[in-house]
Structure formats: structure tokens, C-alpha cells
């Protein structure tokens, strides 16, 4: 397989595309409660930008940008955000994930709760997808058998 890191046109196109991909992921994340999209979709789009970076510039460069120990913490942080919003609702006298209790204005509480939940999902999905990519690309292929 050819080493794609030596193709200057590909590298330069990716340098332009990655910020656009990450910006689009943030757009999908922030507009997920008003339009199609949300945490899962934004997380996958964000991860695809990082995975593209790893494909073109190498797994070492990706691991410099996003080390595995940081990705593991980000996955846990997203899960804790999701669960924390649910328990905050319980602590404020509502049911689990009953967002309207998060603010004096029930509509604002709904928007805040949905945004925080979707942020937790997006962060967890993005980090998980990148970790899965790293795990698959780190595998060594077996040597071909001599015939």
C-alpha cells in the first residue's frame, strides 16, 4: 500500500477540509435541538475529521494531537455529563432527565437540558470513534505464509 503522507496535494486539501469538517460538527451539535442532527451525528462528524487527519498524516500525528489517555477521559467526561444532568434533574425535584426543572423558565430548562445531554453524547461518540479507529489501525497484519 502506498504511503499517502507523501502526496502534497492530498495533504494540503486535507489541511483545508479538516477545519471545515470540525466546524460543521459544531454546527450540527449546536443546532441539534432545532434541526436534524444532534450529539451522535456531531460526534461522528467530528471523529471523521480526526480520523481523516490520522489517515493522511499518520497515527503518530493523531496520537500526538489526541493521546489515548486524554480520549479515555473525554469518553468518561461525556458519560458523566449525560448522567449528571439526569441526577441534577432528580436533585431539583423532577424525574430523571426531566429538563424543565433545570431553570426557572421551563422552556429555557428544556433547551439547557437537551443541549447538555447532546453535548455529552457528542463528546463520548467522537472520542469513542477515534479510539476504535486507533485500535483497528494499531493492529499488526500477520505475515504472509510461504507457499
Q: Which tens digits make up the pLDDT trace of 49-108? A: 999 999 998 888 999 999 999 999 999 999 999 999 999 999 999 899 888 898 889 888
Higher pLDDT: 24 or 34? It is 24
In a domain, 144, yes or no: no
Pairwise CA distance, residues 99 & 94, whole Å: 8
Q: Is residue 112 part of a domain?
A: yes
Could you tell me if residue 143 is inside a domain? no
Domain total in the chain: 1
**Could you tell me if residue 119 is inside a domain?**
yes
Per the domain annotation, does 38 fall within a domain? Answer: yes
Query: How far does the chain reach from its first CA to its final CA, in angstroms?
Result: 22
Residue 147 within a domain: no
In a domain, 108, yes or no: yes
Question: Does 145 fall in a domain?
Answer: no
Domain residues for 41?
Answer: 4-137
pLDDT score at 5:
59
- 3-state DSSP assignment of residue 100: helix
Residue 67: φ, ψ to 5°: -65, 155
Contact 126, 83 (CB under 8 A): no
Amino acid at each position: 500500500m502506498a504511503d499517502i503522507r507523501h502526496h502534497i496535494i492530498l495533504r494540503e486539501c486535507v489541511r483545508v477540509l479538516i477545519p471545515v469538517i470540525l466546524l460543521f460538527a459544531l454546527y450540527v451539535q449546536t443546532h441539534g435541538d432545532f434541526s436534524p442532527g444532534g450529539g451522535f451525528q456531531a460526534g461522528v462528524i467530528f471523529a471523521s475529521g480526526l480520523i481523516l487527519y490520522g489517515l493522511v498524516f499518520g497515527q503518530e500525528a493523531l496520537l500526538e494531537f489526541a493521546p489515548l489517555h486524554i480520549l479515555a477521559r473525554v469518553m468518561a467526561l461525556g458519560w458523566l455529563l449525560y448522567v449528571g444532568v439526569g441526577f441534577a434533574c432528580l436533585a431539583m425535584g423532577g424525574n430523571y432527565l426531566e429538563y424543565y426543572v433545570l431553570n426557572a423558565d421551563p422552556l429555557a430548562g428544556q433547551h439547557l437540558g437537551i443541549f447538555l445531554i447532546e453535548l455529552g453524547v457528542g463528546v463520548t461518540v467522537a472520542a469513542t470513534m477515534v479510539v476504535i479507529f486507533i485500535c483497528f489501525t494499531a493492529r499488526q497484519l500477520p505475515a504472509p505464509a510461504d507457499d
